[in-house]
Amino acid sequence: MLSDEDNRMLTRTGPGTPMGDLFRSYWLPVLLSEQVQRDGAPVRLKLLGEELLAFRDSTGAVGLIDPRCSHRGAHLFFGRNEEGGIRCAYHGWKFDAQGRCVDMPTMPPELVSKVSDKAQIKAYPTREWGDYVWAYLGPQRPLPELPQMEFALVPPSHRHVSKKYQECNWAQAAEGGVDTAHFSFLHQPVVSSEGQLAEKAARATRGYSQQTMNQNHVRWMRDDARPRYEVRKHGAGLVLGASRQAEPGQLYWRIAQYLMPCHGYTPSATDGQTYHGQTWVPIDDESCWIYIYSWNPQRPLTEEERKGYRSGGAVYPEMGENWMPLRNRSNDYLIDREVQKSENYTGIVGVSEQDAAIQDSQGRIADRTRELLGPTDIGVMQFRKLMLESARGLAQGVVPLGVDSPGDYRVRAGGVVVPDPTNIDEAMRLRFGDPIGRVLDR
What number is the average pLDDT over the span 210-219? 71
pLDDT band at 214 (very low <50, low <70, confident <90, very high): confident
Give the whole-angstrom CA distance, residue 212 versus residue 413: 12
For 27, which DSSP code?
E
Q: What does the pLDDT read at residue 204?
A: 54
What number is the average pLDDT over the span 209-230? 82
8 Å CB contact between 327 and 318: yes
Residue 245 has pLDDT above 80, yes or no: yes
Give the phi and the psi of residue 221 in degrees, each rounded to 5: -70, -35
DSSP of 8-21, one letter per residue? HHHH--STTSHHHH
CATH superfamily for 150-432 is Naphthalene 1,2-dioxygenase Alpha Subunit; Chain A, domain 1 (3.90.380.10)
Q: What does the pLDDT read at residue 213?
A: 54
- In order of 189, 275, 326, 354, the CA distances from 318 in angstroms are 19, 19, 6, 12
Give the whole-angstrom CA distance, residue 30 versus residue 9: 22
Q: What does the pLDDT read at residue 400?
A: 98
Residue 200 has pLDDT above 70, yes or no: no
Q: What does the pLDDT read at residue 351?
A: 95
What number is the average pLDDT over the span 416-422? 97
Look at 138-142, 196-200, 217-221 and tell me which has the smallest mean pLDDT: 196-200
Q: What is the mean pLDDT of the chain?
A: 94
Percentage with pLDDT > 90 across the chain: 91
pLDDT band at 202 (very low <50, low <70, confident <90, very high): low
CATH superfamily for 31-136 is Rieske [2Fe-2S] iron-sulphur domain (2.102.10.10)
What number is the average pLDDT over the span 201-225? 71
Buried b (16+ CB within 10 A) or exposed e, 289-316: bbbbbbbbbeeebeeebeebbeebbbbb
Q: What does the pLDDT read at residue 210?
A: 46
What number is the average pLDDT over the span 409-419? 97
DSSP of 252-318, one letter per residue? EEEEEEEETTTEEE-S---TTSPEEEEEEEEEETTEEEEEEEEE-TTSPPPHHHHHHHHHSBTTBPP
Q: What does the pLDDT read at residue 440?
A: 80
Residue 190 has pLDDT above 80, yes or no: yes
Q: What does the pLDDT read at residue 198?
A: 55
pLDDT band at 193 (very low <50, low <70, confident <90, very high): low
Residue 227 has pLDDT above 80, yes or no: yes
Residue pLDDT, tens place only, 326-368: 999 999 999 999 999 999 999 999 999 999 999 999 999 999 9
Where in the chain are the domains? Answer: 31-136, 150-432
Q: What does the pLDDT read at residue 211?
A: 46
Residue pLDDT, tens place only, 118-174: 999 999 999 999 999 999 999 999 999 999 999 999 999 999 999 999 999 999 999
